[in-house]
Structures are given as structure tokens and as C-alpha cells.
Amino acid sequence: MAGLTRADVEHVAFLARLRLTADELDRLEGQLNHILDQYAKLSELDTSAIPPTAQTIELENILRADVAGPSLSVEDVLRNAVSTEGDFIVVPPILGGDDA
Amino acid sequence: MIGNGDATRLLGHELASRLRTGELSSRDITLAHLEAAERQNHALNAWLVIERDKALAAADAADARLAAARMEGSEATAGLHPLLGLPVAVKDLVSVAGGQCTAGSRILEGYVAPYDAHVTGRLRDAGAVILGKTNMDEFAMGSSNEYSAFGPVSNPWDLDTVPGGSSGGSAAAVAAFHSPFGIGTDTGGSIRQPAALSGIVGLKPTYGRVSRHGIVAFASSLDQIGPLARDARDAAALLHAVAGRDERDSTSAPIPVPDDLLRLPTSDDEAAGWLKGKRLGLPAEYFVKGMEPGVEARIREAVDALEAAGATIQEVSLPHTDYGLATYYIVVPAEASANLARYDGVRYGKSIRLPGADFIADYLATRGDGFGPEVKRRIMLGTYALSAGYYDAFYLKAQKVRTLIKRDFDEVFGSGIDALVAPTSPSVAFKFGARTADPVAMYLSDACTLPANMAGIAGVSLPCGLSDGLPVGLQFIGPPWSELELLRFGRAYEAITDDADWRKLEPAQLALADDPSGPTPAERAAALAAAA
């Protein structure tokens, strides 16, 4: 399997929304490639006819009645937010400057 | 009359009977354990917070319930929950309303849980006394507790070694007699491996046995909550208290929890007699390359003892065991990277807002500063494994191999094997720093435990002697919903080794932890790093 380049590591860090220092990027490049080498072992197995397992217990379609039950108060929900206004959490603007 | 100091040495069921006779109160028991925890936390760092006032309030409430039941008579006292009035150490990723829940991470520093986890509610219903929250590897990612953002934990058997992880704080607290009961979580071995390294009992239930509502999610298709204790009977009582269907977790199974968990044999003869005719499988693949000879010797002795007591031992093969590690380290980072996407610094947790920057820059800064190195490594691996063009090669491939691993277990259990017997960890407790330089070396710590998580089945680790003066863990692995059987095997093993000299030993360096001027675990780790 092709290894990760430094540029790949930087790209994945951006996708994962992680700001990393140059040192961290250096270290991760080596470590991630070392770990990816271990993954290569799986190519020894022919799995073309094997179905994937996403969960291990045979439960399906667990449903409940569509009725409202007790839930947290607005006050409890907002207590951990960094910034609030009235009954709302203040979020950073995600649309361009003119719309913000 | 038993003094406060001695109460910490009693098992949960021994404390429960003294509560019922009135020989001890929950306040006596709680105070004795709080004092031990407060005295030794400087040296062990097992606790991230000790909640003395809340614990004493819970103890007084339990004493009131006991007094009322005693007035009603023996039937009422017999009907009391076995955990009533007894201390529990709770891993700091289980929500306890009104208290911290850091998951061992700076990104959740200052967060206050707004509600109780399902297990917390069950503990409260039982009248258990939550002493505080225990240290852990950040987001449960680790096998040594060295990846906690709040410092490493010392193993009471040797203060320069790790207690295992990720439930290292709960394991050390139970091993050090700070609490008879501990709650942990196990995604790849995080209950069983620290139980093994710390010389106690730890059980990972079948996936779906215990509701995950209110715990910090790590890898959702594998995470399970389970008990840590100092014998099989106590582990069974704690499992009984927290297990069962909860509609807030749709993966919690509507399978009855056997009440016989509360009736494991009290007599050693009965416990050992149960073994006769039971079939135990010995999986060749679990005696891995690099396993310490002392560990293998203790496991072989335990297997011989089980055979001598009437169990049939049969060599079996789980041919895909060797692929478990690679499979696990694809599936787990992938699920973790998705779960940890929620830490955005907006709704809760650490938040960095850079003046004039856009929201992406805020996310990058918050997450880059808030997560520690192992968490970042796993998020990176998971993000990569799930990214466009690589999904089939990594994640889908791993899920297919997961099927093969599960089939290995299905075939063995389908052939009439009642349980597998194997080592829990290929090594005893290791020194601080021994595995932090190489992530793959750390990952190998879980080689014997993670297959059970991949297959969603149950496993329990019990102490089976010492190697180089450090505890060795014996693992029983069983089919889905076999917790009761596994604990009967464990109880039987305890019965047949009841006279063993090693059972009488306390953790060798526990007394050293009483020294308030001694080094902290972080200082010990730094000294070892400097000497290396």
C-alpha cells in the first residue's frame, strides 16, 4: 500500500479539523506509515465472498412509540455552552462576511 | 468490632453482611475508603476527583434505608440490594449529574454532566455510594493510563509501573482497597487488561448487555461498560446492578439478566464441583510470540488446576486471531474519528475563538489544542481510513475480516466448548515509558483481549498468581450472554486456588503510597525517562 506523504498528512489533519505543529506532523508521518504497514497483513485474506460485520448482536429495528418524554431543561442544555443569548447557543458565523 | 482501617480489606459481599447485622454502617465503610483514597491519591493518582460530601450524603441515605429495613424485619433486610451502602469508583467517562466528566481529556475540562448515565442511575437505585471519578487514558484510548491528560497512574504492586488501561484509575483504586467496586469500559480490553495488571477481577459483558446511555462514546460498535472488583461474586453483583435493557440505548438488548448472578456459590466445594464435565477450549493462537515466560507458566498452571478439578481441556484454533489487531486498529479509529467530530468548542467543552478568524480556524485551534497525542493519532487514522478512495481498502476490508473473527468464535462455541481459557495480557505491568515511544508496541498490549470486542462476546479476567512479583491475569471468554457462566468459571477457579500463597499477598508497594512526600506517578515517569 502506498505510504502517506507529508502533504497527505497535512490534508488529513485539515479534514479532521486538527491544527498540528510541524513537530506533530513529522512524528505522525512516521507513526501513521508504521501503523499502515500493519494493515497490509489483511491483504493476505481473500474476503471477496465475505459479508461485512458492522454490529455483532442480532437486533433489528428497535423502535419506540413516538411520544414525547421527559428531557433536559433549556437551562441544563445551555449550561456548558461557551456563549449563549436568551435560549440560544451563540455559534460562530458560517456564512460569508456580508451575511454574518 | 472492626475498625475503619480494616473495612477496606473486606470484599463487597462481606461488607454487605456486616451492614445487615449492624456491625458496620455505610458511613463507617465510606469514611474508611475515602480516607484511604485521599491519603494515597498523591502517590497513585487513581482519582481525578474524590466527592467526599456527596459520598457521605449517599452513605447516610443508605444507612437510613438499612435502619428502616431492620425495623421491618429480616425479610426486608434480605430484600435490600447487595450494593446498598457500598463504595463504587466510577471511570470519568460515565456521566454523574452535576459532576465533572472529562474522559481524561483537556477538551472536556470544566464540563459538568447535565444528567446521569444509565449505569449511574442504576447505582443510585441500588443505593451504592459513588466515591468519585477515576483516571483513564484520554477518551479510553490506551493500555497504560499514560495517555491521560491528567497524569499517569501508579500500579500499587510497583509504583514505577502502569496499572494498565484504559480503566487504569478504577483498577488501581480497587486493587489499592480504595473501593471494593469499580466501573470501567472495555473497547479492546480496557477493563480486563488493567484488571490483569493490577491483580483484580474485571469483566467485559456481551455487547448490548449494559446500556451505553450517558457514557462518552469512543468506538460505538465495541464499547461496553463492566465491573471491576476483587472477586467473582462482587463482579457478578455489580454487573447485575447495571445490566439490562434501557430504551435510551437502542443497542442494549432485551435479554433477561439472570438473577443467579447474585447467587454464585458461597461454598468452595459447590463452586469447584460445578466445573466437572465443563469443556474449556485452549486457543493456540493466544499464546502469542513475545509472551512473557512467567505469564505463560501461570496460565498453564491455572489450566492444569482447572483440569485436575474436573474440567475437560481441549486445544482449539481461532485461525484469524492474528488479523485481529490490524482489523481493530482500522475499525476503532474510524468510529472514534466520527464520534469525536462532535468536539467543536461550540456547545460544550474547550473553546478557542480566534479574533477575526473564520469558524474553521476556531475548530482547528480548539481540537488541535484540546486533544492529546494518542487521540489525534487515532482521529488521523480514522479520518484517513474513511476518506474517499480508501474506504473499501481499509474500513470495508476490516469489517469483512471482523466477520471471519466472529465466525472463528461461533465455530468453537458451536462445537460444544463452554468457554475459552487464555491469558488476558501477554505481559505483566510494564514500567512507565516502556511503550509510549512506539504506538504499535502499545497496541500489542490488547492482542489477547480485543478479539472478544470484535466479536461482541463476553470475557472476564481473574488474578492467577504472580510473575516477577507482578500479577498475571487469567481470561475466560464465552459466547454472547454467557456472563453468568464465565463468572461461575471464575468463582470455581477462585475456589480451587483458595489456599494459594499469592492470594494472601497485598500489592507489594501499597504501603509506599502512604508517604505524602514521595514522588507522584508523573514524577516517577519523568525520572524513568531521564534515566533511560
**Any domain includes B184:** yes
**For B440-458, how does the pLDDT look when each residue is reduced to its tens digit (9 = 90+)?**
888 889 999 999 999 999 9
Q: Which residues of A touch B346 (CB under 8 A)?
A: 81-82, 89, 91-92
- B109 to chain A, any CB pair closer than 8 A? The answer is no
Query: Do B424 and B461 contact (CB within 8 A), yes or no?
Result: yes
Note whether residue B346 is domain-resident: no
B95 is known as an active-site residue: no
A13 CA: distance to closest CA in chain B (Å): 6
The percentage of residues in chain B with a pLDDT greater than 70, rounded to a whole number, is 99
pLDDT at B131 over 50: yes
Under 8 Å between Cβ of B162 and B429: yes
What SS3 class is residue A15? helix
Tell me the three cell numbers of residue B20.
445487615
B137-178 residue pLDDT tens: 999 999 999 999 999 999 999 999 999 999 999 999 999 999
Distance set, CA B484 to CA B79, B206, B251, B261 (Å): 21, 11, 20, 6
Contact state of B377 with A32 under an 8 Å Cβ cutoff: yes
Q: Which of B139, B223, B380, B391 to mutate to test the interface with A (most CBs of A within 10 A)?
A: B380
Output the pLDDT for position A70.
87
- pLDDT at position A86 over 80: yes
DSSP B5-34: HHHTTS-HHHHHHHHHHTSS-HHHHHHHHH
Residue B68 one-letter amino acid: A
Whether the CB-CB separation of B402 and B456 falls below 8 Å is answered with no
Among A63-77, B185-199, B425-439, the minimum mean pLDDT is found in A63-77
A38, A59, A77: residue with CB nearest B251: A59
- A16 and B379 in contact by Cβ < 8 A? yes
Asked if CATH classification 1.10.20 holds for the domain at A6-44, the reply, yes or no, is yes
Mean pLDDT over residues A69-78, rounded? Answer: 91
Residues 6+ away with beta carbon under 8 Å from B437: none
Q: What is the Cα B367 distance to its own chain's centre?
A: 27
Residues B116, B138: Cα–Cα separation, whole Å: 21
Write the CATH number for B416. 3.90.1300.10
Mean per-residue pLDDT of chain B: 96
Quick one: average pLDDT of B360-382? 97
pLDDT of residue B3: 45
Distance separating alpha carbons of residues B201 and B147, to the nearest angstrom: 23
Q: Which of A53, A64, A81 minimises the CB distance to B403?
A: A53
B376 is catalytic: no
- List pLDDT tens digits, range B490-514: 999 999 999 999 999 999 999 999 9
Cα B54 to Cα B62: distance, rounded to the nearest angstrom: 12
Q: Which residues of A touch B440 (CB under 8 A)?
A: 34-35, 38
Q: What pLDDT does A61 receive? A: 80
Of the listed ranges B42-46, B67-71, B461-465, B495-499, the one predicted with least confidence:
B67-71
State whether B221 and A82 contact (CB < 8 Å): no
Q: How far does CA B504 lie from the centroid of its chain?
A: 23
Going by C-alpha positions, the residue among B265, B182, B334 that lies closest to residue B493 is B265
Local confidence band at A99 (pLDDT 50, 70, 90 cut-offs):
very low
Beta-sheet pairing, B458-467 with B312-316 = unpaired
Residue B471 CA from chain centroid, whole number: 16
Cis peptide bond N-terminal to B250, omega within 30? no
A97 — pLDDT class (breaks 50, 70, 90): low
Q: How many CB atoms lie within 10 A of CB B72?
A: 10
* Predicted confidence (pLDDT) at residue A1 exceeds the cutoff of 70: no
Give the per-residue pLDDT at B4.
44
Tell me which long-range contacts A85-93 makes (C-beta under 8 A, separation of at least 24): A89/B346, A89/B347, A91/B346, A91/B359, A92/B346, A92/B353, A92/B358, A92/B359, A92/B362, A93/B359
Q: Which of B114, B520, B327, B156 is nearest to A50 (CA)?
A: B327
Q: How many domains does chain B have?
A: 1
Interface size A-B, in CB pairs within 8 Å, comes to 159
Note if B91 is an active site residue.
Answer: yes
- Alpha-carbon Rg of chain B, whole angstroms? 22
Q: pLDDT at position B405, please?
A: 98
For residue A13, the chain B residues in CB contact (below 8 A) are 380
The answer, for B437 touching chain A at a CB cutoff of 8 Å, is no
Instruction: State whether the Cα torsion B462-B466-B467-B470 is positive or negative.
Output: positive
Nearest residue in chain B measured CA to CA from A75:
B114
Q: What is the DSSP letter of B140?
A: G
Tell whether B429 lies on the interface with A, counting CB pairs under 8 A: no
Q: Which of B251, B326, B346 sits opposite A38 (nearest CB)?
A: B326
Q: How far is CA B448 from CA B57, B320, B453, B473, B499, in A?
A: 41, 12, 10, 11, 28
- What range defines the domain where residue B444 resides? 7-321+405-502
- Percent share of chain B, pLDDT over 90: 93
pLDDT digits (tens, 9 = 90+) for B90-100: 999 999 999 99
